[in-house]
Structure 1
Amino acid sequence: MREDQYHHGDLKQELIDKGLLLLNEEGIEGFSLRKVAKMCGVSHAAPYKHFKDKDALISEIIKEVWKKLYLSLVEVTKLYSSDAKLQLVEMGKTYVKFMTQNPQYLKFMFLSDNNCSVDIKNGEFFVEDAAFEVLKNSAEVFFKETKLDKKLYMQKILGMWSLVHGLTILITQKNLRYDGDYLDLVGEIIESNI
């Protein structure tokens, strides 16, 4: 029997998980299917049963990370569907919690060359990111309820996103130390700024 036949469990998922770790450690330049296979304890040929090449694995890693964030934000919209302001606060807390509990996702998504950019043209967002769309749509519902001038939507949404993203980096990098529950603090900061 070959080494890859001894692997038990979901090899495809393990390749994605270990591939993310490798990308964060060595970047795209140091990334190879052979190295990921070694991390998984399988033969160098085993990854090719699931991925055509290293770019296919990297693409799958990107999809997986963004999907997890998206699903966590969608869950918040369902839980707080009757209160637009609370929905935004909880969405921000969820984002911070998601990223601080998964710093490898934060590094991969925003602190590397693999990130997804937000483009603004003529005051409108153009983003290929479903997670950002969830934030944008929730914020627009809140803005309509509070009768905010539509011309300010883009600036307010970008400000909210920057706020939670900045807090996430401060907490993850341990540049912000708080002796209480950091998610309570994050909620208070978000609420005072929307």
Structure 2
Amino acid sequence: MPDRRPYHHGNLREALIEAAIGLIAENGPRGFSLAEAARRAGVSPAAPYRHFKGRDDLLEEIARRGFDEFADAMKAAWDDGRPNPLAAFGRMGQCYLDFARERPAFYVAMFESDITMSDNVALWEASERGFGMLIHAAEELSAPLPKDRRPPARMFANHIWALSHGVVELFARGKPGVRSPISAEDMLNSGVLIYLRGLGLIGD
């Protein structure tokens, strides 16, 4: 008869998640395996399968946690955007850069790991909560525009997200000044201002 006793390792699930976060931070999203996470957690290669279906399942859980933390940070940065939505929007941009720098393993799992969200409801909901803050900010910022000149809020948010992600990839990693003498913060802020000016939301 097979042994059905539960596996005891304190909290093995959390140990595996922490091990994988460390490996992702060191080697990127493709730089770890479930077996390597198990080795770092000090358990057998078979032990993780008691908690995760496979490597992608573990990666999705890390991304979900990252999106939850990201959403909370973005909400705090926005803080309803009153009395100054533009200043709040600037805080959200800084929040994006800070999260990418300070939580690199989560950021990579969320945006650079090629995970599929359609089959993971919890992951999809977490990602939408974070992105929903950006959509809400876009709605508030574009509200003064006439309806026929107002861009769809999700498209607006997508443009800002793409700009933010591009700045992270090109200018916020590595040593300052390697690719540009302009800081990542100034690069993002100037890009957002140019975009908002093009919409007619701010003047010269």
2:19 and 2:37 in contact (8 A); partners too: yes
1:39 aligned residue: 40
Structure 1 unaligned runs (5+)?
118-126
Task: Identify unmatched segments of 5+ residues in structure 2.
Answer: 1-6, 119-125, 197-204
Query: 2:128 aligns to what?
Result: 129
Q: Does the C-alpha gap of structure 1 residues 64 and 154 become closer, same or farther in structure 2, counting only changes over 3 Å?
A: closer
Pairing partner for 1:176 from 168, 179, 184: 179
Tell me the CA shift for residue 18 of structure 1. 2.0
Tell me which residue corresponds to 1:191: 193
Cα distance between partner residues in 1 of 2:179 and 2:15? 33
Q: CA deviation at 1:58?
A: 3.0
CA drift of 1:82 comes to 2.6
Measured in 2, the distance between the counterparts of 1:111 and 1:59 equals 12
Q: Deviation above 6 Å: which 4+ runs of structure 1? A: none
- 1:4-15 to 2 correspondence within 5 Å? 11-15=12-16
Equivalent residue pairs, number: 177
Q: Is the 8 A contact 2:71 2:130 kept in 1?
A: yes
Q: Aligned residue for 1:167? A: 167
Q: State the shift of 1:23 in Å.
A: 5.3
In structure 2, the CA distance between the partners of 1:151 and 1:94, relative to structure 1 (3 Å rule), is closer
Measured on the aligned residues, the alpha-carbon RMSD in Å equals: 3.5
Q: Deviations over 1:15-41 (max 9, x none)?
A: 213223445737569622x32121123
Distance 2:164 2:171 in 1: 10
1:92 and 1:19 map into 2 onto residues whose CA distance is 28
From the superposition, tell whether residues 14 and 86 of structure 1 become closer, same or farther in structure 2 (CA, over 3 Å). Answer: farther
Q: 1:172 to 1:29 in 2, by over 3 A?
A: closer
1:63 deviates by: 1.0
* Structure 1 residue 94 displacement after superposition: 0.7
Aligned-partner residue type, residue 110 of structure 1 = F
Classify 1:71/1:38 alpha carbon distance in 2 versus 1 (closer, same or farther; 3 Å).
same
Q: After the TM superposition, which residues 17-166 of structure 1 pair with which residues of structure 2 at under 5 Å, given as runs?
A: 17-22=18-23, 25=27, 31-32=33-34, 34-44=35-45, 47=48, 51-54=51-54, 56-78=57-79, 80-114=81-115, 129-147=128-146, 149-151=149-151, 153-166=153-166
Distance 1:26 1:168 in 2: 15
Letter in 2 for 1:176: R
